[in-house]
Amino acid sequence: MQTIFGLVQLRNPSPLRSRDLTPAEFALAFSFYRKVICSVYPTRRTDLDEYLFIELDMALRFGGSGFYTYHVHFASQATGRIKLFNQGTYRGALDSELYCRIFAARASLSCQSCGAPSHLASACSVSSPPPQTPHSLPSPSRNASDFNRLSPAREAGWCVITSMS
């Protein structure tokens, strides 16, 4: 695997990891991992909590198994960094290069009613647009592109994502 530090040879996949985890399974497994790590290194709790938030945000925003693919690659890079440089990895920050490689071609999920990310139309609290009065100007409707442009990675210029539709 090519990383910013050079080529890192990865081992063959473990037979224990035979499938991708769902967001709920990942959150449970990572919570156990966090509990073990924090029992020895209590100062790591903040960055592990932030990493879990980043992962679950990706799962909500994009659906599918992209969040888990990000996790596997991020963990592989962290392992390579330890092996090559004996240096730990701060997990509480988004790896923008890895994020763009995995999610640049994926459209984020959004509500069909209001266009907001992270929830479906069935869970939307906006049931219908406000009524128009005869003398008011029509307001622009919110759609997925209004919210997609607010993604932190896109806003920071980390990657350019264009809609596939």
Write the pLDDT tens digit of every residue in 73-102. Answer: 999 999 999 999 988 889 999 999 999 999
3-state secondary structure the chain: CEECCEECCCCCCCCCCCCCCCHHHHHHHHHHHHHHHHHHCHHHHHHHHHHHHHHHHHHHHHCCCHHHHHHHHHHHHHHHHHHHHCCCCCCCCCCHHHHHHHHCCCCCCECCCCCCECCCHHHCCCCCCCCCCCCCCCCCCCCHHHHHCCCHHHHCCCCCCCCCC
Instruction: Give yes or no for residue 42 having a pLDDT over 80.
Output: yes
pTM score over 0.75: no
149 — pLDDT class (breaks 50, 70, 90): very low
In the chain, domain spans: 20-121+142-155
Question: What is the amino acid identity at position 31?
Answer: S
Percent of the chain with pLDDT over 90: 39
- The model's confidence at residue 61, banded by pLDDT at 50, 70 and 90, is confident
- Of 1-10, 57-66, 69-78, 84-93, where does mean pLDDT reach its minimum? 1-10
Q: Is the pLDDT of residue 69 over 50?
A: yes
